[in-house]
Structure 1
Amino acid sequence: MTLLDECLESLQGNYKVLSDNQGEQLLEELFEVFPLTDWGRLDWNRLKIASKCTYNENFIDSINKFFGNHKSDVTIVWDEVNHPVITSKLSSILDVIDDVTAVSSNTWIFSKDKMKVVEFYHDGEITLGIINN
């Protein structure tokens, strides 16, 4: 069983795997709004950093507060191109966040509707950001 399989199993069916075409289209839209650097991080010079945190007992509360609604629909993207793009409720993802972030080195949780993103970078840094207006 792969880490992706374990992640999907831990989500207990509370997710949708997008088709390859849907995933590619959504990624194009997301990375147009949330641009990447050449080295694979979100370009924080073009986004507003709301806060930074690390894995601790409060980081889930920080993410919930940032999104404002733990029932929000969000998109999970991993930096491994062979992994699918999935959508789920924020609460479902945060319930199993260790399984979600174990899938790949870098993980992003996007809410295109709210124009917000959380980046779980491989060095352990968690950055919460919004679009600069």
Structure 2
Amino acid sequence: MSLFDECIEVLGENVHVFSDSQREQILNDFESSFPFTKWGRIEWDKVSNHTEVNTVDEIISFLNQNINEYSNVIYVIWDEGTLPIIQSNLDKVFEVIDDVTAVSFDTWLFSPSSGYVIEIFHDGEVRIGLK
């Protein structure tokens, strides 16, 4: 079983795997919402409202302070281009975050409806920001 398959399994029934055409649409939305460096990282100094976080509580606090009612439905996007994008519940992703981040080096949790992204960089740095 691959790390992706294990991730899908632990996320349970509230996970949706997107087809290639849907994946492209989500990526287009993601890339038009946030500026990226040439090496594939969000260019945080061009995102006016962002912060580095160390805990789930800090992420929730940021969301509560900056968004009246944020969406718990998010897309999980990995830096490995051959992997599908999945949709899941933010709370569930946090419960199994080690399984989610094990799939690939860098991971983004993106909510287009609420306009936030959480970037989990392979060096351990985690940032959250608003478009």
| TM-score, normalised via structure 1 length | 0.88
| TM-score, normalised via structure 2 length | 0.89
> Are the counterparts in 2 of residues 105 and 121 from structure 1 also a CA contact under 8 Å?
yes
Structure 1 gaps, min length 5: none
> Are the counterparts in 2 of residues 52 and 125 from structure 1 also a CA contact under 8 Å?
yes
SS of structure 2 residue aligned to 1:45: helix
Which residue pairs with 2:62 in the alignment?
66
* Amino acid of the structure 2 residue aligned with 1:61: D
Q: 1:70 to 1:5 in 2, by over 3 A?
A: farther
1:61 Cα deviation (Å)? 1.3
Please list the CA deviations of residues 44-84 of structure 1 after superposition, one character each: whole Å capped at 9, or x if unmatched.
12213532134xxxx11122233346861111100000110
Q: Percent identity between the aligned chains?
A: 41
Please identify runs of 4+ aligned residues in structure 1 that moved more than 6 A. Answer: none
Please tell me the root mean square deviation across aligned C-alpha atoms, in Å: 1.6
Structure 2 gaps, min length 5: none
* Partner Cα separation in structure 1 for residue 42 and residue 107 of structure 2: 11
* Partner Cα separation in structure 1 for residue 99 and residue 57 of structure 2: 18
* Partner Cα separation in structure 2 for residue 126 and residue 95 of structure 1: 16
